[in-house]
Structure 1
């Protein structure tokens, strides 16, 4: 599939601040929200690579902050 034939993608994020790539022509699954970035699959993956610097779920980061870890 050439880039021009590739469907559009968007970056999505869940309530735990975990990221994924989702085709624009598909409904988002429950619990996931459009983050605002769209483009080719690779452009979306590149964006995720830049912004998702802490892979720990939000709930874990909060627990660790509360415990002073």
Structure 2
């Protein structure tokens, strides 16, 4: 028995999520979001979501590292 997650089809739907540090990721649209993450409203195939993230996440520095002290 494998502990690996089941593979998902290319047509699965995903949502773009972001955390308080303004770090982006993709998440299965039909699953509950993990604690600390919120949906951005962008959805699509995994690749469409990754393309969206590439467009909007232009500064990979976590928000806490960018904030003035």
TM-score (norm 1): 0.82
Change in CA separation of 1:29 and 1:2 when aligned onto 2, cut-off 3 Å: closer
Specify the alignment match of 1:32 in structure 2: 37
Q: Distance in 2 between matches of 1:2 and 1:41?
A: 10
TM-score (norm 2): 0.82
Unaligned runs of 5+ in 1: none
1:8 corresponds, among 3, 6, 13, to: 13
Change in CA separation of 1:16 and 1:2 when aligned onto 2, cut-off 3 Å: closer
More helix by share: 1
Unaligned runs of 5+ in 2: 1-7
CA RMSD of aligned residues (A): 1.5
